[in-house]
Structure 1
Amino acid sequence: MRKQLWQWFTLFKVGAFFAMFRYILVVVAEFVVLILPFVCVLVSVAFYTLLERKVLGYIMSRKGPNKVGFMGVIQPFSDAAKLFTKEMVMPGFSNNMVFVLCPGLILLNGLSLWLLYPFSYTEVVFVCGLIQFLVVSSTSVYGVMLAGWSSNSKYALLGSVRAVAQSVSYEVPLTFVMIIICCLLGSMLCQEVKEVQDGVFSSIFLFGLGGMIWLVCMLAESNRAPFDFVEGESELVSGFNVEYSSGGFAMVFMAEYAAMLFNSLFFTVLFVGGSGVVVMLGMTLVVVGYVWVRGSFPRMRYDKMMKLCWRYLTVLVLCLGVFCLCVPYL
C-alpha cells in the first residue's frame, strides 16, 4: 500500500511539473504575441530614422550615414545603444519623479495608438475605434505639458505651452474630418471601415479635400516641418525636451516617430483603401512625404500657423462637412 501511494505521489509530481511547464509556456507565448507588435514598431522606427537621414542627405547633395555596417544599416541601433548607455542628468530643481516618468508616458501613448488598428491576427475590437484614435492622440499633450513643467525650466515650459496650443488647435479640423468620415461610411469601427475600403480606391477621390486637410493636421500634430515650433525658435533651444538626455530623449524621439508611422497607416486605410501591398505602398509614400516636406519647406511663422488652422482649415472643413451631409438629399 505504501509503495502504491508512493507511485501515485510520484506520478502526481510529474503531472504537476508538466502542467506547470505547460502553463509557463502558454504565458510566455501570450507575452511574446503581446509584445512582438511593439518590438516590430520600434524596429520600424529605427529604420525610419535611417530613411529620413538618407533622404535628407540626398536632398542636401550628400550621402547621409554610410559608415556603420553595410551602407549605414546598423546606424540606428548604434545610436540607440549610445543614448541608452549614457548617464541621465537630472536638473537640480526639477520635480524628479514626474521628470523621469514623462518620457515613458509619452512613449506609451505613441505605442498605444497601434492597439486601435484592426490587424488580421487580433481579436480585440474597439466599439468606436475612429473616435478612440482622436482620444488617444489628444492625450499626448499631457505628457508634453508635464515634461515641460517638471523640468522647472522656462525654456522647456515655453516649448511645452507652444506645443500644447498647436496640438489642441489642429485637433479641431481633424475631429471634423473624422466626423465626416464616420457619417459618410456609417460606422465608427476601424474593422468595418477597413472592410469597406479593402480592394478599392474610393475615398481618396471622394474625400480628396478632407485627405489634404488630414495630412496638414497630421504634420502639425506630429510637430514636423513646417510646423516644428516645439524645437524651433531660438529662445526655446530644443522645446519641452531641452533638459532630457540619454534614454529620456530617446523615448520622446521614438514616440514621435511611432505616432508618425501609425498616422501614415491610418491615413492610407481611411482615404486610399486597398489591402496588403496597396496599403504598404500608400503608407510608404506618406512616410516619405513627411521627410520630403521637411527637406523642402521652411518653417512658418507661429501666428501664420495658428491663422492657417482657425481661419482657413476649420472654415474649409465645416463647409466640406455641410456639403457632404447635404449631397444625399440633393
Structure 2
Amino acid sequence: MSCGPLLVSRLLFHASKWRDGVTAYVARRLLLAIPTLMVIMLLVFSILRLLPGDIIKLMIAEQNYAVDEAALRKELGLADPAPVQFIKWISGVVRGDFGKSLWTKQPIGEELKRRFPVSAEFGLYSVLIGVLIAIPVGIISAIRQDTWLDYLFRSLSIGLISVPGFWLATLLLVFPVIWWGWTPPLTYVGWTENPLEHLYYFFWPALLLGAGLSGTTMRLTRNQMLEVLRQDYIRTAAAKGLSEMRVITRHALRNALIPVITVIGLQIAAVVSGTVIFESIFSIPGVGRFYFQAILFRDYPSVQATALFIAITVLLVNIAIDLVYAVIDPRIRFA
C-alpha cells in the first residue's frame, strides 16, 4: 500500500532535480551568450560605419531625410566619437529603445513588436513543413535502403538542396498567372479576420521555404537511421518479436533524432535569412520585409536595430533547441 506514495515522491524528486538542472543550464547559457551578444553588437555597429562613402550624404541624396546634413548627423548620434556612439547605443538597447525609424517615422521597437509575430508564425510553419517532409521520408528511405524508393527520395533531397527557393517562388508567381490566371495570395489577412484565409496566405511561401530546408534534414535522418538500425540493441529488439514499427519508433528513432534536432536548430538561421527573401517576394509584413525595405530606404537606425534583433532571436532559439535534447534523449542531463 505504501508503494504508491513512495513512487510519487521519487518522481517528484527527480522532476525537481531535472528542473533545477535545466534552470542552472539556462542561466549558464544566458551568461555565456552575453559575450557573444556584445561581439554581435560591436560587429553590427562597426560594419554599418565602415561602409564606403558617407552614409549621411547618401541618405539625404537618395531619400531626402533632411535638408541639413549636420542636423541629420546629430539626430542619428553620429556627431559624437565612435566609442561614445557605441555606449549610447548599448544603453538605449538595454532600455529597449532602438531609436526611431526615418522611413516609417515610428519607434523601431514598436515596428519590431508588431511585425515579429508574423515572422515567427511564418518561420514556425516553414520549419514544421520541413520536418513533416524530411523525417518520414528519411525513415522510409533508410528502412528501404537501395530500393527504387530510396533512390527516388535521395534524388528528391538533392534536388531540394540544389534549387534556390527564391527561384521557385518567382516561378510560382509568374507561370501560374500566365497559364491559368492564378496567383498565390499577396494580401495579408489577419487570423481574427479569417482563419482559413490566414493559413492559406502562409501556405505557399512556407511550403517553398520548408521544402528547401527539408533536403538536408532528409539526408541526415536517413544516414542516422541507417547507423542506428545496425546497432546490436536494434537487432535484439527485432529478435524478441517486436514489430518493425515498434522497433523504429520506440528504439531507433529517438537515438537517430539527436543530430537531426541539432541541424534543425542550425537551420533557424537559414529560416531567418529565408524570411527576408520570401517576405519580400510574397509581401508578408514581417521583420524580414521591414529589414529589406529599411536597407532599400537607407533607414540607418532600422537596419542596425533589426540586425541586432535577428541575432538575439537566433541565440535564444538555439538555447531552446538544446533544451529539447533532454526530452528526446533521457540520457542527457543538465547537471
So what's the TM-score if we normalise by structure 1?
A: 0.29
Q: Highest relative contact order (Cα 8 Å, sep 6+), 1 or 2?
A: 2
